[in-house]
Amino acid sequence: MTAKKKEKQRQMMTNVSVHRCVCHKRTSLGPLSFHSNVNGRLITLSDGGRRATRDESSFRHGLVFSARPVQIQEKLRLRVERSTKNLHGSLRVGFANVLPEETTLPSMAVPDLTNSSSLYAAAILHEDTCYPGSETEFWIDRYARLWTRSSDGTKSFQPTALNIHGPIWAMIDIYGQTSAVMLLGSKKKDRLYTYRSCPALKHNKHTDDNNYIYKDINKETLKRLNKPMSMQIHESYNTGTEAFDSEDCVVCRSEKPNTLLSCGHKCACTPFAMKIILV
């Protein structure tokens, strides 16, 4: 390996360490958000870098990347937040072996990036699966196959030429009728544990009780959880949601709900339940 390649590898690994999780959980994959400095010219980030919105003046220029490299078999979950019926085409999801900072962003991932180099791979999602509220999982396996799973459970894969032994970044093209998406987190299973991405980018230690408090908690969600249970159930019924039957924490949408709240429901993970109680 030449000195230049060694230096590039060192820079890549430095980039990995910058995004290590600071909550010190053994099963944490680290925080997951969109890259703040490398995205299409019509993209705006919000919600701590987890929501990406493309200006609807064009169906293109909606490329975004993950802020950190992802792992093999790390399944990223993405929700469509907004779409328009005036345009054709839909979301593209995939991965890149190239540092986002070293990528010259074209207007589209497919075919601009995928046809130009084997270091990029993306799958085109069908328009019928990309409607507001729909969720998609995508990941790369140890055979360099790009997998996708839609809201109805349908799975598909395509082979890629990606190098799974080097750093890999998630790549999403908010294209066509899809104009806004939210990163819901990621998880990776092995024989003993389920590893999950951290729900917050910043953690602040509470000096009184030695617990971690998250300052970027969604205020609307917190307000909803603090309402009387009868009102929450009424709102859930009216909106067609099933918040209290969810397998995930209703706040972070990534950890398992494991703490009983004063209302008598177990719908939040421990860190966010503590935040709710202390507010």
What's the CATH number where 107 sits?
Answer: 2.60.120.920
Residue 2 lies in a domain: no
> 12: Cβ–Cβ under 8 A, 6 or more apart, which residues?
69, 99, 166, 167
> 132: Cβ–Cβ under 8 A, 6 or more apart, which residues?
80, 81, 82, 83
Considering the domain architecture, whether residues 138 and 230 belong to the same structural domain is answered as: no
pLDDT given for residue 27 in this prediction: 83
Q: Are strands 204-205 and 75-83 parallel, antiparallel or unpaired?
A: unpaired
Considering the domain architecture, whether residues 177 and 236 belong to the same structural domain is answered as: no
pLDDT given for residue 15 in this prediction: 44
Residue 177 lies in a domain: yes
pLDDT given for residue 250 in this prediction: 73
Considering the domain architecture, whether residues 34 and 19 belong to the same structural domain is answered as: yes
Q: How far is CA 179 from CA 128, 133, 170, in A?
A: 15, 13, 18
pLDDT given for residue 251 in this prediction: 73
> 203: Cβ–Cβ under 8 A, 6 or more apart, which residues?
22, 23, 212, 213, 214
Q: How far is CA 147 from CA 35, 74, 141, 169, 176, in A?
A: 22, 11, 8, 15, 21
pLDDT given for residue 267 in this prediction: 78
Convert the pLDDT of each residue in 84-113 to its tens digit: 888 889 999 999 999 999 999 999 999 999
Considering the domain architecture, whether residues 187 and 214 belong to the same structural domain is answered as: no
Whole-model pTM? Answer: 0.66
Considering the domain architecture, whether residues 52 and 155 belong to the same structural domain is answered as: yes
Task: Give the span between the Cα atoms of 157 and 268, in whole angstroms.
Answer: 33
- Domain span holding position 151: 7-198
pLDDT given for residue 225 in this prediction: 44
Task: At 180, list the tokens.
Answer: 């806004």
Considering the domain architecture, whether residues 17 and 128 belong to the same structural domain is answered as: yes
Contact 247, 264 (CB under 8 A): no
How many domains in the chain? 2
Considering the domain architecture, whether residues 225 and 90 belong to the same structural domain is answered as: no
- Which of 198, 231, 254 terminates a domain? The answer is 198
Considering the domain architecture, whether residues 150 and 259 belong to the same structural domain is answered as: no
Per-residue pLDDT of the chain (279 residues; tens, 9 = 90+): 555 554 554 454 444 434 445 565 778 898 999 999 999 999 999 999 999 999 999 999 999 999 999 999 999 999 999 998 888 899 999 999 999 999 999 999 999 999 999 999 999 999 999 999 999 999 999 999 999 999 889 999 999 999 999 999 999 999 999 999 999 999 999 888 899 998 655 543 333 333 333 334 344 444 544 454 445 444 444 444 444 444 677 776 667 787 777 666 777 777 777 666 654
Considering the domain architecture, whether residues 16 and 147 belong to the same structural domain is answered as: yes
Residue 1 lies in a domain: no
DSSP state of 259: B
Contact 214, 203 (CB under 8 A): yes
- Which of 198, 222, 248 terminates a domain? The answer is 198
Which helix (H) or strand (E) segment is 64 a member of?
strand 63-70
Neighbours of 6 (CB within 10 A): 10
Name the nearest CA neighbour of 157 among 165, 169, 149.
149
pLDDT given for residue 234 in this prediction: 47
Task: Give the span between the Cα atoms of 156 and 168, in whole angstroms.
Answer: 20
Considering the domain architecture, whether residues 89 and 191 belong to the same structural domain is answered as: yes
Radius of gyration (Cα) for the chain, nearest Å? Answer: 19
